[in-house]
Amino acid sequence: MIFHLLVLVSLVQFSQAENCPDCVNSGKVWCIETAQCGATSCNTSINRPLNCPTNPQYGYDDEFMRSEIMVLATAAQNENPQLCFDNQLPTMKLYQIRTVNCSTKYSDVTCVGYTAFDTKRKVISISFKGAHGQDQIEEMMEDGMKYGLLPYYTVTNGKIMKILQDYFMLLWNEGMQQDLRHLKYKYPSYELWVNGHSLGASLAWAASAWIANIGLYKPDDMKVVVMGAPRIGDYNFADWHTKTFPYNFHILHRSDPVAHQETYIPVTNSTLFYPKTEVWYNNYMRQGDPFQICQEADGHYCSGTLKPNATQYIDHLYYFNIDLPGWGHAGCPMNISAFAQP
């Protein structure tokens, strides 16, 4: 009898999923607090494999993001990104900045991206500018409602917003492709950094996927870092992007409203999803402020635990406690105190 009981107990234990991915893939819900599968009352539950807690493959370096990636993303705000480099990253050299008329409707809507290289860091960087002007924001919303998401190339097995594919391909064909190929030919062993803020973050994600997909760079040779990124793709895209890029961070400031936008796109019946890894600063992002490396991808975790607060639009503009567009327009001067959050 006792023997039978023991067999039964061990069988039951054996059939229980002991880790989150097995649990979720078997259609059950994983509970973070208890680390158990199928828990009925749970504060933080997981029902998608991508949300199973994991740590990023590479460490997150606040100082690197603050002093280098922040400058690269901000420089896209200036018609001459070199001004920002001269003030902040003197060995970084602008290669080309590209501006395209990217609207079929408005005359003042442009998309901007640039390429740069640094022989000291042995790096090529590609960056994109954020949205500027009410017309661009309106066009993106209108297009999103009208066309929603489209499949994005074969390898990704996912979909992203059609408007972002259009924007990115216009820039790419306008010259960014030829610029990047030229730089890679000249500096074949350099790493590629892909970055941006806001719409620039969305375009950086679209670019990273395209560049990897056409085999121009291996994902292992790329660092993808974006700030204030809206969600751009569906679950399959987020899952693919997460698995493809080992160095892949998206930084979110406090209650940046982009993180609280509607995630359901009715016209294509799609739900938008963030890839990993979110790094969330629930503070002013001053030097030394704490941050959370989010172990989940998207849901009621990290920035998703805050209620949306439309009055916090300022959290989208300030990163690392600098007014990003303002500092960029000014050419990223050394004295940042005039650009700090009041």
Ligand X SMILES: *[C@@H]1O[C@H](CO)[C@@H](O)[C@H](O)[C@H]1NC(C)=O
- In angstroms, give the least distance from the CB of 325 to ligand X: 17
Beta carbons of 200 and 128 less than 8 angstroms apart: yes
- In angstroms, give the least distance from the CB of 271 to ligand X: 7
Beta carbons of 216 and 184 less than 8 angstroms apart: yes
- DSSP 3-state assignment of 90? coil
Binding ligand X (rule: CB under 6 A), the pick from 101, 157, 283, 287 is 101
Residue nearer to ligand X on the CB measure, 21 or 333: 333
User: Exposure string (b/e) for 37-56, b if CB count within 10 Å is 16 or more?
Assistant: bebeeeebbbebbbbbeeeb
Residue 218 in tokens: 């291996």
Beta carbons of 77 and 324 less than 8 angstroms apart: yes
Binding ligand X (rule: CB under 6 A), the pick from 104, 154, 215, 264 is 104
Q: Which of 266, 256, 261 is nearest to 317 (CA)?
A: 256
Under rule CB under 6 A, residue 189 binds ligand X: no
Residue 9 neighbours by CB under 8 Å, 6+ apart: none
How many CA atoms lie within 13 Å of 66's alpha carbon, on the beta-carbon side? 16
Q: Which of 210, 220, 272 is nearest to 248 (CA)?
A: 220
Task: Show the site string, 211-250: x = touches ligand X by CB under 6 A, - = not.
Answer: ----------------------------------------
**Residue 14 CB neighbours (<10 A):** 8
Under rule CB under 6 A, residue 262 binds ligand X: no
Under rule CB under 6 A, residue 154 binds ligand X: no
Residue nearer to ligand X on the CB measure, 15 or 107: 107
Quick one: which segment of 73-81, 102-110, 167-175, 285-293 binds ligand X (CB under 6 A)?
102-110
Quick one: which segment of 69-77, 97-105, 159-167, 288-296 binds ligand X (CB under 6 A)?
97-105
Residue 124 in tokens: 């090529």
Under rule CB under 6 A, residue 138 binds ligand X: no
Strand order in the sheet with 191-197: 92-101, 110-118, 123-128, 191-197, 222-227, 248-253, 278-281, 292-293
Under rule CB under 6 A, residue 309 binds ligand X: yes
Under rule CB under 6 A, residue 312 binds ligand X: yes
The footprint of ligand X on this chain (CB under 6 A) covers a number of residues equal to 15
Binding ligand X (rule: CB under 6 A), the pick from 45, 335, 341, 342 is 335
Under rule CB under 6 A, residue 43 binds ligand X: yes
Residue nearer to ligand X on the CB measure, 189 or 311: 311
Residue 14 in tokens: 């054996």
- In angstroms, give the least distance from the CB of 311 to ligand X: 4
Binding ligand X (rule: CB under 6 A), the pick from 26, 34, 91, 305 is 34
Under rule CB under 6 A, residue 13 binds ligand X: no
Footprint of ligand X (CB under 6 A): 33-34, 43, 101, 103-104, 107, 269, 307, 309, 311-312, 335, 337-338
